Chain A
Amino acid sequence: MALGVMLLVGTRKGAFLVESGLERAVWSIRGPLCEGWPVFDVSYDRSVGAILAGTGSPWFGPAVWRSTDLGATWTHSSAGLAYGDDGPRLTRVWNVTAAGGTVYAGVEPAGLFRSADGGQTWEHVAGLRAHPSTPDWQPGNGGLICHTIIADPTDPRHLWVGISAVGVFETRDSGATWATRNRGVRADFLPDPHPEFGQCVHKVAMAAGEPATLYQQNHCGVYRSDDGAATWTEITGQLPSDFGFPIAAHPRDPATAWVVPLNGADKGRFVPQGRPAVWRTRDRGRSWSRLARGLPEHDAYLAVLREAMAVDELEPAGVYIGTSTGQLFGSADEGDTWAPIAEHLPPIASVDAVVVER
């Protein structure tokens, strides 16, 4: 047994596990896993050492897949993962997040479930869909989906979720009641560009060691909150576009985050000029640096989706992006230089990075 890096990759045709030693230079690929089901998120439950995959089969419906032996064997369950016979039909699991001994699942149509047994049985967190705004929720291009779940590491009752195209919600009572948290975020596609809800949040990441500092990539800009999402300040700054999907935070430095801007919501949604780049801030979004060394230099009309950027916990931190065209790129120096890891995977929906004994 030795420590290594494992990338958990969700694709349109199954999950893949991509592994290397701590040098992060030579990678091997295992997969496709999860019987080739579309996988929207693969994450790691550190408390029990389980890999969890959020999926939705067009034939067999939604399920959370689980492996407690680093992907050698899998089980799957959707026990309790339903809105009841009179409720809407649950189609896909978009996010699986383990925190504080609980596993959460964000689903389509948008809602939140939790599991007290590591993802084997599920309970609806009904308070979210009981919010008075629910009848007016509108889907984004990916559907009406709960795709982001963030737990406060200092208070297990305190959570944020992101729903497209509704916005950010916060609970302080374990999901019993929720409040919208979109003040300062634009919704340029609505008659009132500053509504209480209706913003198209794409991804939110929490700053290391600062639970009140949140970074958000939205359909309409990049934002930072210094007050736990009560208010947001736009930090799009000199980024080439206000449109992109993922945002990732540094594992130790709360001032560092990465985004992957695309050319625009109505311009094809690929990287500007076909030249992929990751952009990094070291100062909480006051300035951004373009990082592209080692990425394709031209004619690469690819995108990186909301869940498809990850950061490992090593020093320096590794950064990973998976593309909608099946390439996986990695940087072992916080984004300064990049190299391809895999070039011919199915379209990639999600990437997570964990350091494990293997």
Chain B
Amino acid sequence: MAEVLLPRSLVALFPGTPRRLAVEAASVLQLVDALDRTVPGLADRLLTSGPAIREHINVFVDGELAGLDTPLGPESTVHIIPAVSGGAGG
């Protein structure tokens, strides 16, 4: 199973959700769908219409910037990280 690490600001929206989960998925899109089944509403926070990854969310698979169709292996590590380009301004 792939391992996914979620950012603090995301799990704060879903109290009780751990920062680190093991997920059975063959792609990033499947991983987000699986997360949404475990944590309803989570996909809405990561994806916009299309579907597409939100503009200021970065997903890395084994250290490389990834897209929704990036494949995952059983040993993959996925980091979901809010981009520094986001934020509420000064």
Contact = CB atoms under 8 A, between A and B. Distances in A.
Interface of A: 12-13, 35-38, 57-61, 63, 76-79, 81-90, 346
8 contacts: A58-B56, A58-B86, A58-B87, A59-B83, A60-B57, A61-B48, A79-B41, A89-B49
Interface string B68-90: 00000000000000110011110
Nearest to B81: A59
Contact of A60 (B45, B50, B51, B89): B45
Q: Closest 6 CB pairs between A and B?
A: A58-B86, A60-B45, A59-B86, A59-B82, A78-B44, A89-B48
B23 interface: no
Contact of A76 (B13, B56, B86, B88): B13
A69 to B, nearest CB: 15
B21 interface: no
Contacts of A36: 88
Nearest to B57: A59
B49 A82 contact: yes
Contacts of B57: 59-60
Contact of B56 (A59, A84, A85, A87): A59
Contacts, number: 60
Contacts of B82: 59
A77 B41 CA distance: 7
B66 interface: no
Contacts of A78: 41, 44
Contacts of A58: 56, 86-88
A114 B45 CA distance: 20
Interface residues of B, number: 21
A89 B51 CA distance: 10
B19 interface: no
B19 to A, nearest CB: 16
Given A13-B88, A38-B88, A79-B44, A60 B49 contact: no
A12 B54 CA distance: 20
B10 interface: yes
Contact of B54 (A35, A38, A59, A87): A59
A63 B86 CA distance: 16
Given A12-B88, A35-B13, A76-B13, A61 B45 contact: yes
B12 interface: yes
A86 B48 CA distance: 11
Contacts of B9: 35, 59-60
Contacts of B49: 82-90
Interface string B28-63: 000000000000010011101111001011000000
Contacts of A87: 49
Nearest to A14: B88
Contacts of A59: 9, 54, 56-57, 82-83, 86-87
Contacts of A85: 49-51
A143 B75 CA distance: 44
A61 B12 contact: no
Contacts of B87: 58-59
A81 B41 CA distance: 12
Contacts of A37: 88
Contacts of A35: 9, 12-13
